[in-house]
């Protein structure tokens, strides 16, 4: 559970409900004398985690402040994905400008992806130690510098250097917003907000080729990077003036117990709240939905009394998390689901720029509208569906929510994913009419890439929320190493074997990892039991 009870109280609840409470399992109803803060309104959902009664607690912020923060965070995520994968329609321009081959030009994307993944070993420790706000501001300044460098680069090596710098700066796009969502939103809302995150991030990768293709055809590729520079500047201003610090220390029950034993003032509050008589939520937390950021939360960074310890832990924990089966499931499913979209990005110029299509860079870029439309369908359906499935099964389970309940929502999107891979690979190979490939195949790719990563990553966060940032580092490293490798060999593989073998191999691996969701639906609680005593739940 998300730090709501100490060991003694957990045993009491387990005895009353006759169920084992493990990390990730949440009690969404009152039990005996344990009365929890609720959301209010008709649903009366139990709030997980339970907010403090501090007006500055991000969980207590008003809807206005939460929306301002998530808007600034989402635009940062969008802009950090916008640059690295905008290059596909401009490959022909780079081949001409830098006198290189298509395989060489594709490496601009591949290298940026690889560096981006590993850069989070820098950003997540900073985020954990000093807060989300300094990470967003510093990383966007780096992206701004790399964008100016790209616009002015005159050689292949110079442009590659700008790609490496962009990869370093863009790392937070893949790790920080999920932590922000866990900071400011309650468990029952996370499905839709995590789906929004994946749509924003993947949407940036879809919109960028549309814009870059059109601009390179009419205004030249360098002007695209000047546009990117201006948008990054806007994002920096949004972070400065719209994004207060969301990181908030929530006292673990064990920590509170130690302080209570030593007689620290105020340390008994976390225990007193557990045994209150039935009371209105407004009486127990008067600042719920009425809070606001403090002046300190607008500072450049949050002080940390033990920064070195925090940084060392954050460097180690992503590797430790790879020993947990649930994290491995999330890493593999997210990696290959995103790779299904990356396949389109890396092959669209190769397929549509050649006979019988012979499309311009602008026309190739416009195909990404279909992927974006699919992502919007995924946004509208996946988050609400996974939250509804979890809520329905929680009600059937006497108010006990298990994170595995969310996995059932994967079923329709896995079918859509595999169907889309078949349409694209066979359509490319047989040179079908573009309408079938783009309108059906590309739309399916957009639906699945908005839905599958959001559902499975939310499952992992629900199971290991205290280390959400490090969890996404583990996922991102796995995803980007595969993405880099795929970018290295897919162009030559297509040339030697056609489109079907590489695309369907990737799609079949995605299906295989998703099918492991059946095992986790039935045995996920066993896997969580293996790590129930791990210190990752106390961080």
Tell me the three-class secondary structure of 219-273, residue by residue: CCHHHHHHHHHHHHHHHHHHHHHHCCCCCCCCCCHHHHHHHHHCCCCCCCHHHHH
pLDDT confidence of 191, banded at 50, 70, 90? confident
pLDDT confidence of 436, banded at 50, 70, 90? very high
What tens digit of pLDDT does each residue of 92-107 get? 899 999 999 988 998 9
Mean pLDDT of 523-538: 90
**Selected residue with higher pLDDT from 149 and 54:** 149
* 413: CB partners within 8 A, 6+ apart: 378, 382, 447, 448, 451, 452, 455
Distance from C-alpha of 398 to C-alpha of 393, rounded to nearest angstrom: 9
Mean pLDDT of 462-468: 86
Distance from C-alpha of 211 to C-alpha of 215, rounded to nearest angstrom: 6
The pLDDT of residue 534 is above 60: yes
pLDDT confidence of 278, banded at 50, 70, 90? very low
Inter-residue contact 161 to 39 (CB < 8 Å): no
Q: Which of 136-145, 290-299, 301-310, 401-410 has the lowest mean pLDDT?
A: 301-310
pLDDT confidence of 274, banded at 50, 70, 90? very low
Distance from C-alpha of 404 to C-alpha of 526, rounded to nearest angstrom: 11
The pLDDT of residue 315 is above 70: yes
DSSP letter, residue 205: H
Give the pLDDT score at 130: 93
pLDDT confidence of 141, banded at 50, 70, 90? very high
Inter-residue contact 469 to 122 (CB < 8 Å): no
The pLDDT of residue 435 is above 90: yes
Give the pLDDT score at 398: 81
Mean pLDDT of 45-63: 85
Mean pLDDT of 372-399: 88
Give the pLDDT score at 176: 93
Verdict on whether the full-model pTM lies above 0.85: no
């Amino acid at each position: 559970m998300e730090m709501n009870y100490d060991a003694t109280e957990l045993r009491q609840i387990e005895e009353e409900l006759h169920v084992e409470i493990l990390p990730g399992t949440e009690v969404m109803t009152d039990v005996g004398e344990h009365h929890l803060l609720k959301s209010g309104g008709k649903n009366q959902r139990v709030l997980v985690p339970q907010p403090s009664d501090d007006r500055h607690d991000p969980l207590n912020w008003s809807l206005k402040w939460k929306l301002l923060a998530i808007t600034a965070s989402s635009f940062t995520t969008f802009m950090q994905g916008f640059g690295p994968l905008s290059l596909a329609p401009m490959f022909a321009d780079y081949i001409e400008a830098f006198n290189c081959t298509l395989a060489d030009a594709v490496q601009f994307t591949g290298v940026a992806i690889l560096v981006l993944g590993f850069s989070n070993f820098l950003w997540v420790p900073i985020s954990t130690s000093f807060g989300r706000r300094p990470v967003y501001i510093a990383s966007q300044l780096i992206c701004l510098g790399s964008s100016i460098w790209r616009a002015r680069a005159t050689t292949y090596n110079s442009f590659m250097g700008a790609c490496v710098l962009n990869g370093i700066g863009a790392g937070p796009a893949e790790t920080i917003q999920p932590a922000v969502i866990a900071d400011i939103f309650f468990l029952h809302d996370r499905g839709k907000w995590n789906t929004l995150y994946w749509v924003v991030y993947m949407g940036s990768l879809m919109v960028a080729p549309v814009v870059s293709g059109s601009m390179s055809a009419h205004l030249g590729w360098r002007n695209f990077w000047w546009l990117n520079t201006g948008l990054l500047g806007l994002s920096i201003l949004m972070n400065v003036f719209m994004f207060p610090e969301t990181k908030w220390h929530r006292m673990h029950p064990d920590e509170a117990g130690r302080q209570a034993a030593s007689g620290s003032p105020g340390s008994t509050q976390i225990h007193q709240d557990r045994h209150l008589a039935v009371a209105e939520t407004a009486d127990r937390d008067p600042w719920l939905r009425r809070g606001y950021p403090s002046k300190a939360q607008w500072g450049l960074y949050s002080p940390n009394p033990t920064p070195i310890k925090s940084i060392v832990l954050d460097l180690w924990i992503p590797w430790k998390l790879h020993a947990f089966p649930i994290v491995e499931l999330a890493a593999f499913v997210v990696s290959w689901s995103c790779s299904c979209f990356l396949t389109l990005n890396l092959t669209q110029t190769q397929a549509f720029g050649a006979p019988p299509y012979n499309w311009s860079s602008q026309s190739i870029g416009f195909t990404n509208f279909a992927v974006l439309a699919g992502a919007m369908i995924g946004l509208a359906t996946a988050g609400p569906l996974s939250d509804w499935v979890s809520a329905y099964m929680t009600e059937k389970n006497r108010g006990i929510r298990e994170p595995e309940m969310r996995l059932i929502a994967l079923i329709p999107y896995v079918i859509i994913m595999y169907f889309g891979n078949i349409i694209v690979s066979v359509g490319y190979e047989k040179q079908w009419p573009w309408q079938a490939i783009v309108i059906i195949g590309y739309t399916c790719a957009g639906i699945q890439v908005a839905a599958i990563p959001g559902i499975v990553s939310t499952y992992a966060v629900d199971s290991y929320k205290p280390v959400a940032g490090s969890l996404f580092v583990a996922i991102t490293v796995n995803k980007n190493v595969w993405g880099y490798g795929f970018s290295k060999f897919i162009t030559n593989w297509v040339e030697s074997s056609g489109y079907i073998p590489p695309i369907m191999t990737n799609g079949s691996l995605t299906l295989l990892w998703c099918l492991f969701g059946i095992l986790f639906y039935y045995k996920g609680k066993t896997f969580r039991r293996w790590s129930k005593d791990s210190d990752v739940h106390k961080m």
